[in-house]
Amino acid sequence: MQIQCDCGKFRAELTQFPKNTPGRLICYCDDCQAFLHYLKRSDLLDENGGTEIIPAYPADIKIVAGKDVVKCIRLHSKGMYRFFTSCCLTPIANTDPARPWAGINQRMYVTKDPTILDRELGPVKASIMGKYAKGTPPAGTPQTFDFKGMVTVMPFIIKGKFLGKAKHSPFFDNGEAIVVPKVLSAEERSKI
Question: In this structure, is residue 39 part of a structural domain?
Answer: yes
Calculate the average pLDDT of the chain: 94
Whether the predicted pLDDT of 19 surpasses 90:
no
Rounded average pLDDT over 127-152: 93
Contact by Cβ (8 Å): 145, 128: yes
Whether the predicted pLDDT of 112 surpasses 90:
no
Which pLDDT value is given to residue 127? Answer: 95
CA angle 179, 175, 16 (to 5 degrees): 90
In percent, the amount of the chain with pLDDT more than 70 equals 100
- Residue 112 is classified by DSSP as S
pTM of the prediction? 0.94
Question: In this structure, is residue 49 part of a structural domain?
Answer: yes
CA angle 188, 191, 192 (to 5 degrees): 95
Express each pLDDT in 43-101 by its tens digit: 999 999 999 999 999 999 999 999 999 999 999 999 999 999 999 999 999 999 999 99
In this structure, what CATH number is given to the domain that contains residue 32? Answer: 2.170.150.70
Question: In this structure, is residue 99 part of a structural domain?
Answer: yes
Which pLDDT value is given to residue 126? Answer: 93
Contact by Cβ (8 Å): 103, 84: no
Beta strands in the chain (DSSP E): 2-4, 11-14, 25-27, 51-56, 61-65, 70-74, 81-85, 91-95, 102-105, 109-110, 126-128, 172-173, 176-177, 182-183
Question: In this structure, is residue 142 part of a structural domain?
Answer: yes
Which pLDDT value is given to residue 1? Answer: 87
Note the Cα 159 to chain centre separation in Å.
19
The number of distinct structural domains making up the chain is 1
Domain that holds residue 60: 2-187
Question: In this structure, is residue 192 part of a structural domain?
Answer: no
Of 71, 82, 89, the closest CA to residue 27 belongs to 82
